[in-house]
Amino acid sequence: MLKVAITGPESTGKSTLSEQLAQHYKTVWVPEFARSYVGNLNRAYTLEDIEAIARGQWELEQQAMQQANTILFADTDMLVLKIWSEHAFGSCPDWIAEKLMQQDYNLCLLMGVDLPWEPDPQREHPHMRQFFFDWYKRELEAMQVPFIEITGQQQERFDMARKHVDSLLQKYQH
């Protein structure tokens, strides 16, 4: 099973691209657990909530792997939760840090910040996307994770991502 994480700052098209890639490759994708969790909170989220979200995200991915066909796309990863936690609360729960080191994605698609910001009640930092993008890139480089920067508008992003996923599939089919 090949695994691809779509990661990066908020409002960069992660969900859209995850769904498009899953449809194209006739497989499943792991949605962002935080959307429903935070949407049902009716209060400000806490550090404990971010850990609960991480655990829910991990569980969703484990379930999706049972249904995936050759490749699985994840619309977020533990890096998103680490950065969110560290930025919001100044620390990251040990469980998230441990799971981040256990992630075994074959490729990460780091979403660029060149798409227009789309307001959403759960999005918090419209003017900090470059700051977060740079943070993601530093983390991916430090972890020595294979990643590709995905930029452009929607179709360009899909085409660029598809090209790299096709290369990944060819590499592992031989």
pTM (whole model) above 0.85: yes
The neighbour count for residue 66, using CB atoms within 10 Å, is 9
The encoded tokens of residue 32 equal 């962002």
Please, are residues 108 and 144 in contact by the beta-carbon 8 Å criterion? no
Residue recorded with tokens 């699985």? 72
Domain chopping of the chain, boundaries: 2-173
Which two tokens mark 87? Answer: 């930025």
Render each residue's pLDDT in the chain as its tens digit; 174 residues: 999 999 999 999 999 999 999 999 999 999 999 999 998 999 999 999 999 999 999 999 999 999 999 999 999 999 999 999 999 999 999 999 999 999 999 999 999 999 999 988 888 988 999 999 999 999 999 999 999 999 999 999 999 999 999 999 999 886
Residues 6+ apart with CB under 8 A from 55: 95
* Residue range 2-173 in CATH 1.20.1050.10: no
